[in-house]
Amino acid sequence: MTGTPFTALRGQLHEAAAEFAGGADALEGILLGLVDDVDRAVAEPLEIFPVCHHSPASALAMARRLREKQPKVVYLELCEDMTPLLTELRNCRLPVAVQAFASDIDGFPEDWAPLSVVAPITEASAEYQAIAYALDTPGVELVLVDRSSDHVFQWDRRHDRADDPAAREEDGTGAALHGEAVGVEIGDLRPRFAELEEHLLHHGKVRHWSEWWHQYVEVPLGDSDHDTYRQVMFLIGSLFRRLAPGDGGRVRVDEDRERYMWTRMREHLAATGTDPADCLYVCGAFHAASRVDEFGIGGSDTFAISPRTATTWQYGLIPSSNAAIEAQFGLASGSVSIAATQWTKNLKRTRVKPYRLEGQAGTKKTAARATSPAALPAAAPAEDRLSGFLRRPPVLDTLDESELLGWSVDIVRAARRNGYLASTADAIAVFETSILLAGMRDRAKPTPYDFQDAAVTCIEKDSVPGRRDVRRLVEIMMGGDRIGQVGYEALPPLARDVHDRLAPLELNLQQRGVRRALLDMTSRPELRACSDVLWMLRRLLPHGAARPVMGERRLGERSIQESWDLALGTHQRALIELGYEGVSLEQVLEQRLRRTAYGPRATTAEVLAAVEDATLYLGGRRLADELGNRALDVLAGERTVDGAPEVLRRVRGLLAYYRTSEPVLPPWIESFVRTGYAHYCTLLPTAFRDEDATVGQVAAMLGFLFSMESLALSLGCDRTQLELAVAQAHPRDPAKTALLWAAQVQLGTLSRGELRARCDELLANPLVVPTYPRYLSGFVHALEPVPGLADVVVEAVSNAFGRLPDAVLLPWLPVLITTLRSNASELAPLLIREAGRIFPARLAALDTWVPPWHRRPAAPRALPAATGPRGAALLPAHPATCDALAELLGCTEGWTTTDASARGGRGVALLTTHPGTVDALARILTDR
């Protein structure tokens, strides 16, 4: 290794290791290995530019180097399949994230769907400087060389631990990075060894990694030259790599990424014949100090890149934010905002002109650059800059009193606006405390983190009067959580179509925040199309993106006026990801409804809900009929009654809609009623005995059978099947027993008098009284299939309150109330209305009121003697009705004479000859 620019440094480190460790050992190997890594990276003919993501120092050094070197090819550590998206960055306001999205996957486990990969980009990042330079400089090629989005999941560690539940739980703990997307950590530079990070933070007298990096890397490298910057970043990457390797699986993936990138660069150089001296390789410092065999343009070509899976990937740009980036990289809250402020200060101090994409939203226009890159200067031999940098004592920034004073005044002003009792004295206290804290931490100039601690100490005190604490106020003052925006031109076709169709609302829906939309479809019929779009957005987007304030859409109902709160700008990411699923809202909604209906775990209620949504939002009968036939298949395959209440509710709604809006019922719903009648008759005896089936579910089954009975019988069903099912039911639960009695009353096998007698027996039995509330719960649920029993239920409750003593009544009264509230809250109004009809309306009348069930039944009215055919005289007097009925029935005998009727009247004579039928009907009418 003699003759290298770092020979002297190796000798010094060897002496240091011998002195501190007492001889050659692992320490010497590590120290000398660090220098070897730096030497190897510096000597590489293809210039490597190590960066740290969202580092102002890296961005500043990148802008300088690009203007000096003017490379013809820029290799960038970013997923290679995201190249077409980068040109759309000029239509966005940073920060935004480049995203790859896949909803229909092939080659990965189904429970991973949807797959999402994001790579956030801010203006204060070296990657953006390289992208802006390459896209706006003629003759420069930008080549992304990192693994594709498909390989991100191919190399995911979940492949190796798919059968380990604990591993799956561990992998899902950090899923909130830009939604549930996997973040591509470009330029990630953080020690992966907890003890090392704790050691650095402790001796650096800082609280978190972001503050350490700002103090010991950002500030020293802010004004350094190019060679010093590169060698220091190589050294840091090598230090973290050798001293803190971290998780073995992650290191293996990192090394494969490095092999991948160097393989792609050698392939590009061989294909284009580009001189490596005209290229620049931008990657994280951790990868720059790589030790794999494939490193360098002369490395081995033994690494085989696996083919991509058949998964179809969609690509786009989504809004990002400082907070999302901090969460992805594990940075301290507010650190990205502070970095953006530091970037602006560095530009003013150094007068370096950064690169910005032409037409970039939120930036000033710049003059046109040269049409061709300048000639490259001759490459100078590398020099040792590490020795001088490591020997140099830390450069202490001088105190900028005007800047610190401005911060102190601004934070007090912000605190007063947010409810704090802050004054000028607090501003002075914050100023002095910031200097004191910086001195305690061995720095002359307070950093934003020192100022933040001082503001919390001096202003916040005991409580937070408003929504924001002082720490959050400092973050806002330093730049806040800046949120990017994707421009209209960069949106997918679906998102652009949504904005075009909502243009008649005359609202700027691209902006963040809530916009109120008022739709009067009577005066402006063209707004009906906007209403249709808004209802579909409400169905597809998260809650809050489109929220109706006034108006509703139900089967058979359309509002003539609507009011909406729209926040499409705030939920732009969700709208963009919706565009990955199709080119129109109707297509996406149809796909989702089909996916729900044909899912492996789809229930009948879910499929019926999909039928209802297809009818509400898409119109027409094609999709609704298809999904209805699917609901029929799902119902036939179900073996439980869990979804019976929801099935009953939705079938009733669809039947009511089709009966009022269609000339005939659709064939699928007729088949559904016929199949459902036989299906629930089959399951009914088992459901009465099954302890897992609730009384509400059994009541819903009976409600389906009784309410659909007339239609089912007209379609060919047999009522005997229902009678046999009820006869075979033998429940043990009191609530289901009461429900069975109600079903028997509906079928006519149990009279109302017998039901009342059974309720009286329950109240007379001391052993049954504690369970009487459960019987009442069953009776209340019986109002669903047999609403005519409302008077009997009121009578059963009233008898309990009237007959039981307080010692028995009061203990189970709370049970009765909670049972009715939890199990039959939707049926209580029917019970209350019936009680209001029976009980007196005034309190004074209650003393003399006699319940109807306590009144003595009136004696049967005696039938008058049969003196002649009274009713039959109407028939010959008005023969038109009888003639029409006779013609319909095909009777051709004609009318008999009056004498013949008197001598042998066949019809009327039956009443006197067989009076039993008339007497029974009279008794039934009298009892009611």
Mean pLDDT throughout 139-157? 87
Q: What percent of the chain has pLDDT over 90?
A: 14
Predicted pLDDT of residue 159: 47
- Of 211-220, 330-339, 701-710, give the range with the top mean pLDDT: 701-710
Most confident segment among 166-170, 173-177, 225-229, 710-714: 710-714
Q: How confident is the model at residue 824 (pLDDT cuts 50, 70, 90)?
A: low
Q: What are phi and psi of 92, to 5 degrees?
A: -125, 160
Q: What is the pLDDT of residue 1?
A: 46
Average pLDDT over residues 217-233: 79
459-475 pLDDT, tens digit per residue, is: 887 777 777 888 888 87
Q: Above 70 in pLDDT, residue 449?
A: yes
pLDDT for residue 610: 93
**Mean predicted confidence (pLDDT) in 324-340:** 77
567 pLDDT exceeds 70?
Answer: yes
What's at 438, amino acid-wise? Answer: A
Per-residue pLDDT tens for 342-376?
788 888 888 888 888 887 765 555 444 444 444 44
At residue 29, the pLDDT reads 60
Q: How far is CA 316 from CA 86, 394, 420, 490, in A?
A: 10, 45, 43, 8
Residue 75 has pLDDT above 90, yes or no: yes
pLDDT attached to residue 5: 66
- Dig out the tokens for 666 from the structure: 């659709």
**Which of the given ranges, 4-13, 548-557, 838-847, has the highest pLDDT on average?**
548-557
pLDDT at 100: 87
* Least confident interval from 118-132, 189-203, 211-225, 872-886: 189-203
Question: Residue 333 gets which letter from DSSP?
Answer: T
Read off the pTM: 0.71
Q: What is the pLDDT of residues 893-926, one digit of tens each?
A: 777 665 544 454 555 566 677 777 778 777 777 6
At residue 273, what is the residue type? G
What DSSP assignment string belongs to 322-371? HHHHHHHHTPPTTHHHHHHHHHHHHHHHH-------TT-TTS---PPPPS
Position with higher pLDDT, 901 vs 476 = 476
Geometric angle at alpha carbon 664, from 658 and 667, rounded to 5°: 85
| 336 Cβ neighbours under 8 A, 6+ residues apart | 54, 122, 322, 325, 326
The answer on pLDDT for 165 being more than 60 is no
Task: Say yes or no to pLDDT of 386 above 70.
Answer: no
Indicate whether 417 pLDDT > 90.
no
The answer to whether the peptide bond before residue 95 is cis (omega within 30 degrees of 0) is yes
When pLDDT is cut at 50, 70 and 90, the band that residue 886 belongs to is confident
Residue of 554 and 215 predicted with greater confidence:
554
Residue 839 has pLDDT above 60, yes or no: yes
Question: Is the pLDDT score of 779 beyond 90?
Answer: no
Per-residue pLDDT at 15 exceeds 80: no
With a cut of 60, say whether residue 178 has pLDDT above it: no
Q: Which residue has the tokens 């009975």?
A: 709
Mean of pLDDT values over 332-338: 77
Rounded CA-CA distance 320/184 in Å is: 14
How is residue 319 written in tokens? 């809004």
Tens-place pLDDT, residues 705-723:
998 888 888 888 888 989 9
Does residue 870 sit in helix, strand or coil?
Answer: coil
Confidence bin at 184 (pLDDT 50/70/90):
low
The yes-or-no verdict on residue 162 having pLDDT over 60 is: no
Of the chain, the percentage scoring pLDDT greater than 70 comes to 80
Q: What pLDDT, on the 0 to 100 scale, is given for residue 394?
A: 57
In this model, does residue 294 exceed pLDDT 80? yes
Q: What is the mean pLDDT of residues 543-557?
A: 88
pLDDT at 166 over 50: no
| pLDDT exceeds cutoff 90 at 643 | no
Of 16-25, 309-318, 357-366, 600-609, where does mean pLDDT reach its minimum? 16-25
Q: Say which range, 143-152, 196-205, 263-272, 813-822, has the weakest mean pLDDT.
A: 196-205
pLDDT (tens digit, 9 = 90+) per residue, 496-541? 999 999 999 988 888 888 999 999 888 998 899 999 999 999 999 9
- Which residue type sits at 199? H
Strands across the sheet containing 182-183: 182-183, 115-121, 96-102, 314-319
Quick one: which H or E segment has residue 727? helix 719-727
Q: What is the pLDDT of residue 318?
A: 86
> Looking at residue 364, what is its pLDDT?
54
Burial 299-315 (b: 16+ CB within 10 A, else e): beeebeeeeebebebbb
- Given a cut of 80, whether residue 4 has pLDDT beyond it is no
| Residue 454 CA, distance from chain mean position | 39
Number of residues in the chain: 928
Give pLDDT, residue 191: 55
CB 143 within 8 A of CB 76: yes
Q: Tell me the average pLDDT across 743-757.
A: 89
Contact 832, 792 (CB under 8 A): no
More confident residue, 7 or 239: 239
Q: Where are the alpha helices (DSSP H) in 765-805?
A: 772-781, 790-803
The pLDDT, as a whole number, for residue 133 is 92
Average pLDDT, the chain: 80
Q: How many CA atoms lie within 13 A of 77 on its CB side?
A: 25
What's the whole-number mean pLDDT along residues 691-699? 88
- Confidence check: pLDDT of 161 > 50: no
More confident residue, 414 or 367: 414
